[in-house]
Amino acid sequence: MKTTVLIFFLLLCSCKTDFFDEGSAVLTNNSKTEIVLLRDYISYNYYTRNDTDICSILNDYYRLTKLDCNESFTIIRWDDYNKMAAADTFSILIFDVETLNNKSWKEISDNYLVLCRYDLSGQDIKTLNSVIPYPPSPAMKDMKMYPSYEEIINKEQK
Cβ proximity of 114 and 138 under 8 Å: no
Per residue of the chain (158 residues), what is the pLDDT tens digit? 544 333 333 333 334 344 444 578 899 999 998 998 876 544 444 444 444 456 555 555 567 788 999 999 988 777 777 777 777 778 788 999 999 889 988 888 888 888 998 888 888 988 999 999 999 999 999 999 999 999 999 988 87
Domain assignment present for residue 13? The answer is: no
The whole-model pTM stands at 0.74
Q: How far apart are CA 53 and CA 149, in angstroms?
A: 22
Domain assignment present for residue 14? The answer is: no
Domain assignment present for residue 30? The answer is: yes
Domain assignment present for residue 8? The answer is: no
Domain assignment present for residue 12? The answer is: no
Q: State the DSSP code for 139.
A: G
Q: How far apart are CA 27 and CA 90, in angstroms?
A: 13
The set of residues, in sequence order, having a beta carbon less than 8 Å from that of 97 and lying 6+ positions away, is 33, 34, 35, 36, 66
Domain assignment present for residue 59? The answer is: yes
Q: What's the number of domains the chain is made of?
A: 1
Domain assignment present for residue 81? The answer is: yes
Domain extent for 142: 19-157
Dump pLDDT digits (tens) for 96-140.
999 988 998 888 888 888 899 888 888 898 899 999 999 999 999
Distance of CA 147 to the CA centre of its chain: 16
CA dihedral 148, 149, 154, 155 (to 10 degrees): 60
Domain assignment present for residue 5? The answer is: no
